Chains A and B, each alone.
Chain A
């Protein structure tokens, strides 16, 4: 059975933005897409250990604040060097105005 973790409220993330969520010694990035949808990936860039939550969300892409590596946060696909390794993504569901992630 999937363990759903309550990460944040839907109103805690602006549309086209991202926040950091730490849980059980791990760090994640929770995204609010331009279509009102929510997504979750690992919180650190796969190029170097930089928190993506300080980066820029443009449409469905997140850009790392340190070296401008870019990922599609829906699939985790690395789109632009210096990232060569995809991000891990996690299932998300919304319940009662809360963002739940399965990790």
Chain B
């Protein structure tokens, strides 16, 4: 494959549609219907517990941070608050966007709106973007959510640990939408009927940020921005650290999530922040399974999946050399071996992509 064109309006996008790679049928591990139904069952209790814990901790950390401000003793509390604001919001946006976190739809919608604001992703635009990500996962020219393109922009990735690219792009897009405009790439995946919702939310957000900035100016302190806005930057590192592992260094243009997604065992704190999205192959294969059931799903299908990475550090140790190699040879990717109990990859489906792996 030659130089990749990640534009949703470019040559690779057209090719993916013409070759049937777009909206293709993906591989699924066989699970009896009764077991699948049990895994898909919704519940409010786990997400209510986690949400009370999350927002309770945020209020406590921010309260202590404000009380100790401007002393450096407040710094650890801001760092903790920031991770919950700038990283846990990513997973809440994600799970509530799927509608699987809570059983009650309005609970999903409330948390989705709050999380979307914190992570600076327009809740209407990104709902459609993420639907496309699931239809065409890491299909070049089709998937609007490819975090690490090839060759990988490592400077961008590192900058994003402080939200320096994505958050600014989010705020830029907010202003663009608030001006009553929909970007041409957004128009590729958002139905026209949704445009007014995209624009309305952007305008509400602009009003919230304007009020926060006005308060900061009025009191002559950045303290209001430490609570709203800036934690998207100083707390972004955790969601970027876990997010780049989802697909980084793995195959593109394939229709088997075992080839393009990564499951990583993580510590309990990261799993709380990330809401179990470390089981990422499982999530992509069965997006209807709620986050609290993903460990059970993993146990049920792990015989059919590549061995998970044992830790975040191990996953980075695997991914980083692959990314560096992609700088010189962008067709390179990590091919993950399957256990003998797994159904083999369909080599005939993935001729072009699989030829480049080692």
A residues adjacent to B (C-beta < 8 A): 17, 47-49, 54-56, 58, 63, 65-68, 70, 80-82, 84
Chain A min CB distance to B267 (Å): 29
Chain B min CB distance to A11 (Å): 15
Contact A68 B100 (CB under 8 A): yes
- Whether A63 touches B131, Cβ cut-off 8 Å, given contacts A17-B37, A56-B40, A80-B105, is no
- Whether A84 touches B193, Cβ cut-off 8 Å, given contacts A47-B131, A56-B37, is yes
- In Å, the complex CA distance between A6 and B193 comes to 39
- In Å, the complex CA distance between A66 and B288 comes to 7
- Which residues of chain B are within 8 angstroms of A66 by Cβ–Cβ distance? 134-135, 287
Against A, the Cβ 8 Å flags (1 = close, 0 = not) of B92-105 are 00000011100101
Chain B min CB distance to A82 (Å): 5
Q: Which of A54, A63, A81 contacts B194 (CB 8 A)?
A: A81
- In Å, the complex CA distance between A99 and B180 comes to 51
Chain A min CB distance to B271 (Å): 22
Chain B interface size, as a band, is 20 to 34
- Which residues of chain B are within 8 angstroms of A55 by Cβ–Cβ distance? 288
Interface check B42, CB cutoff 8 A:
yes
Contact A84 B288 (CB under 8 A): no
* Most chain B beta-carbon contacts within 10 A, residue among A48, A68, A80, A84: A68
- Whether A68 touches B287, Cβ cut-off 8 Å, given contacts A17-B37, A81-B127, A82-B128, is yes
- Which residues of chain A are within 8 angstroms of B99 by Cβ–Cβ distance? 63, 68, 70, 80
* Most chain B beta-carbon contacts within 10 A, residue among A47, A49, A55, A65: A65
Interface check B184, CB cutoff 8 A:
no
Interface check B340, CB cutoff 8 A:
no
* Most chain B beta-carbon contacts within 10 A, residue among A58, A70, A81: A81
Chain A min CB distance to B6 (Å): 22
What are 23 residue pairs bridging A and B, where the CB atoms are less than 8 Å apart in the complex? A17-B37, A47-B131, A48-B23, A48-B135, A54-B36, A56-B37, A56-B288, A58-B42, A63-B288, A65-B286, A65-B288, A67-B131, A67-B134, A67-B135, A68-B98, A68-B99, A68-B100, A68-B287, A80-B105, A82-B127, A82-B131, A84-B191, A84-B193
- Which residues of chain B are within 8 angstroms of A17 by Cβ–Cβ distance? 33, 37
A-B pairs under 8 A by CB, number:
43
A65-B286, A65-B288, A70-B99 known; 17 new pairs, CB 8 Å cut-off, are: A17-B37, A47-B131, A48-B23, A48-B135, A49-B23, A54-B36, A55-B288, A56-B41, A56-B42, A56-B288, A58-B103, A66-B134, A67-B131, A68-B287, A80-B99, A80-B105, A84-B191
- In the complex, the chain B residue whose C-beta lies closest to that of A55 is B288
- Whether A67 touches B287, Cβ cut-off 8 Å, given contacts A81-B128, A82-B127, A82-B128, is yes
- In Å, the complex CA distance between A79 and B127 comes to 15
- Which residues of chain A are within 8 angstroms of B287 by Cβ–Cβ distance? 65-68
Chain A min CB distance to B92 (Å): 16
Against A, the Cβ 8 Å flags (1 = close, 0 = not) of B31-59 are 00100110011100000000000000000
- Which residues of chain A are within 8 angstroms of B128 by Cβ–Cβ distance? 81-82
- In Å, the complex CA distance between A11 and B287 comes to 29
- In Å, the complex CA distance between A55 and B36 comes to 9
- In the complex, the chain B residue whose C-beta lies closest to that of A82 is B131
Q: Which of A68, A80, A81 contacts B288 (CB 8 A)?
A: A68
Q: Which 3 A-B pairs have the closest CB atoms?
A: A82-B131, A56-B40, A67-B131
- Which residues of chain B are within 8 angstroms of A49 by Cβ–Cβ distance? 23
CB contacts under 8 Å to A, within B175-234, are 191, 193-194
- Which residues of chain B are within 8 angstroms of A56 by Cβ–Cβ distance? 37, 40-42, 288
CB contacts under 8 Å to A, within B83-116, are 98-100, 103, 105
Chain B min CB distance to A38 (Å): 18
Chain A min CB distance to B127 (Å): 6
- Which residues of chain B are within 8 angstroms of A81 by Cβ–Cβ distance? 127-128, 194
- In Å, the complex CA distance between A58 and B290 comes to 14
- Which residues of chain A are within 8 angstroms of B23 by Cβ–Cβ distance? 48-49
- Which residues of chain A are within 8 angstroms of B286 by Cβ–Cβ distance? 65
- Which residues of chain B are within 8 angstroms of A80 by Cβ–Cβ distance? 99, 105
